[in-house]
Amino acid sequence: MTADDRSARALARLLAGAGTLHFLAPKPFDALVPRRLPGTPRAWTYASGAAELAVAAAVALPRTRRAGALAAAGLFAAVFPANVKMARDWRHRPAPLKALAYGRLPAQLPLVGWALHTARAATPPSAK
């Protein structure tokens, strides 16, 4: 197994873990859903969890890795408004929690980069 394969599998595990948490402990995720979105926060929590699980499966499989990794990059970008909301909502919390909330903002960039690297490293569909 190559380093790129190990990296892709680690990305898939991260996505699968996050997606699973959306179903096992949805309440913290509900609080991150921007109020302007239509529908209930719980529906968005479950939808984003399902999306993370689907993307994780796509990244895990070599045949769909390129598309899954591109979808992961999009997903990481799409959840950025939730991280902004968390930082805004947590601005008056104790320093460690505030640091966690603010730290999530720049953390999205390496996640997008990781996903894009995984997409570039995946075997092109024409080479299979």
Q: What is the pLDDT of residues 58-90, one digit of tens each?
A: 999 999 999 999 999 999 999 888 889 889 998
Rounded-to-integer distance, Cα 46 and Cα 43, Å:
5
Rounded-to-integer distance, Cα 37 and Cα 34, Å:
6
pLDDT(52) > 60: yes
Q: What is the pLDDT of residues 107-121, one digit of tens each?
A: 899 999 999 999 999
Task: Give how far the C-alpha of residue 11 lies from the chain's centroid of Cα atoms, to the nearest Å.
Answer: 9
